[in-house]
Chain A
Amino acid sequence: MAKTRTSTDRRQRSAGKGRREKNRAAIRARIVSAALGLFREKGFDATTTKAIARRARVAEGTVFNYFETKEDIALHFFDLEVDHAIAAVRKNTKLRRAPLEEKLFALVQTQLEFLEPHRRFIGAAFLHALRPTSKLGFSSQAIALRNRYLAFIEELIHESLPRRAGGLFAWFAPPVFWIYYLGILLYWLNDDSQGMQSTLALLDRSLKLGVMLLRKGEL
């Protein structure tokens, strides 16, 4: 129930801040959608802030008011993605009594569904994030995003497994899950089966296996 209240609060808050805030949000959304469109068509690397501004019908300076670099736009997109997936799992009342593997499945699947139209860009962003100078991989925003995601994973683990089960391994599980998630993402990016059948199969079986190990509390 607490979850519904938070989102209502957020809505009320944003309504209270009035029209200017709304306008800002609209421009931000326009910039993001213009950028995503360009990432998709031209690729992440070939897209310039100038082109983004032109497509969003704003001055280039306006883009900088919202995002320092195009990597910040990408990070914002991943923020939206994680918010969306966490909200979807929280909102789904049927999941409340589901086993852990199903909750995790629903989470990752929602993420992939969100990412699906931007596949090409995700592939480029993935490579980008590996560079030590990349904001996508190593900035404080990126780390905050990852922590938010993993905090939710931890929450799911704790509400599903009896407190003592898992032990050290359960404590260790979220970072392991992060590596697992990146692996799934990479597999999905290269999955050429129709209707992402291979990814679904891998996701389903590996989560079952992983949660089983977690329950036993050993590797």
Chain B
Amino acid sequence: MAGPESALRRALKLAGLSAGVAARYASYLAQHSFLREDERERKLKATHAKAGQRVTQELAALKGPAMKLGQALSLHTDLFPDEILQELSALQMSAPGMHPSLVRTQFKISMGRPVEEIFRSFDDQPFAAASLGQVHRAVTRDGKKVAVKIQYPGVREAVPSDFKLLRTFARTTGLKRKVPDAVLDEVEQHILAETDYRREAENIDFFRARLQPLDYVTVPQAYHEYSSDRVLTMSMVGGVHLQTYLSDRPPQVERDKLGAHLLELFYYQLLQIGAFHADPHWGNYLFGPNGAVGLVDFGCIKRWSPKFVEHLHLTFLYPGDPKSAEFRRLMVEGHSMHGAKLSPAALRMFSDLTDNFYRRVYPSELEKENEFFDFGEEAFLKEYMRHATQLFRAKGTLPEHVFLARAEIGLYQTLHRLQSRVQTSKIVRKFLRRRS
């Protein structure tokens, strides 16, 4: 039970949020008939930005589950204007925190022993905010520098009541049409799983073992002996967030290398491991020199269905015509493996996507294998977004496709911000097992 107080406050917050944001848009609409065209555009942007800030502040104040939902929504790029998205993505990195007394209490209750009995030193000021907790630096008794993630109190207890509210909220505001119940259910399950840090420690072990072959990737080491369901102690991962990385103006060659690594990491995880450490959004990576990539946040890993991955091995870099009967047959088969029936509209959408997007970004001809794709160009991202929007709306596709599209959006946005040039097909082909 989250307690009547917190439930009430959250309810008020959510109500306040919808009213506040709606009022901004209403005030814009009231004025807009008097504005000239260019000014209207500017005004609209300002309205979006204000509303976006408000959404972030409100969600950040709610912390925990609602903030996580904000992040999940921020990946639904089609739902929101850019300005709101920017604000939402700020959530990935910041949240109001716990004061030192609460941190230490939470630690002691979760670990059974006070901080100072376990660590030689412990920094009371957090150095990073995770979505459901905050991260502190510490040094173990034997001198290892570690990061200790500590969960906000009552997060797990609040998840069910928060989601009950969100469902009500979604129903009354018409958000439901855009965020269907199935998505909310799934986000709820993921968040609930994410509140158990022991699971996250196991996820870290899994990826640490499986990503060994990629030497530029750093996966932290989880220290199980200093961890519990609400405390997670791991080794420090070097590197900086994308924003900081870019502010140092890394040369093109560095950005290309990093881009290649990110793309390789993406397809290695998808095609070889069958699991993602997190959404491949830049908030979940740390970047270093020489294309080094540090992975953070293993709370919400995505395991792909093996059949889905198997099917990708068949269709990715499809050498023939995506409008051909064979391609159609492959797509229909891929869906029937999962007991789903592919609608003609969805089939057309996949053909279009392959034709207009994949064949351009990932040329399938062997002679084009060494070509670089420039992710800095604007058009490719727009093109992908257009198709992804159709895919989100299409009936009869697999949920896995929606996830993949979301993941790809994260990847492409990151590569676009890096303005990387990458030998896309060459990298992907390394991991495809299939016929000639």
Contacts and interface: CB of A to CB of B under 8 A. Distances in A.
Interface of A: 94-95, 98-99, 101-102, 105-106, 109, 187, 192-193, 195-198, 200-202, 204-206, 209
Indicate the member of A102, A105, A201, A209 with the most B CB atoms within 10 Å.
Answer: A201
Contact of A98 (B5, B99, B152, B156): B99
B109 A105 contact: no
A187 B100 CA distance: 23
A106 B5 contact: no
Given A193-B157, A200-B105, 14 more contacts: A94-B124, A98-B101, A101-B99, A102-B99, A187-B3, A192-B1, A195-B230, A197-B154, A198-B154, A201-B153, A201-B157, A202-B3, A204-B102, A205-B5
Given A193-B1, A198-B2, A198-B3, A94 B100 contact: yes
A205 B9 contact: yes
Nearest to B99: A102
The 4 A-B pairs with the shortest beta carbon distances in the complex, nearest first, are A201-B154, A200-B153, A102-B99, A106-B101
Nearest to A105: B101
A125 to B, nearest CB: 23
B94 interface: no
5 contacts: A197-B156, A198-B6, A201-B155, A202-B5, A202-B154
Contacts of A198: 1-3, 6, 153-154, 157
Contacts, number: 66
Interface of B: 1-3, 5-6, 9, 98-102, 105-106, 109-110, 124, 152-158, 230
A18 to B, nearest CB: 36
Contacts of B153: 197-198, 200-201, 204
A78 to B, nearest CB: 21
A105 B124 contact: no
Q: Which of B6, B102, B156 has the most CB of A within 10 A?
A: B102
A204 B155 CA distance: 13
A156 B102 CA distance: 18
Contacts of B100: 94, 98, 102
A119 to B, nearest CB: 15
Contact of A200 (B1, B9, B106, B124): B106
A102 B98 CA distance: 10
A192 to B, nearest CB: 7
Contacts of A204: 98, 102, 153
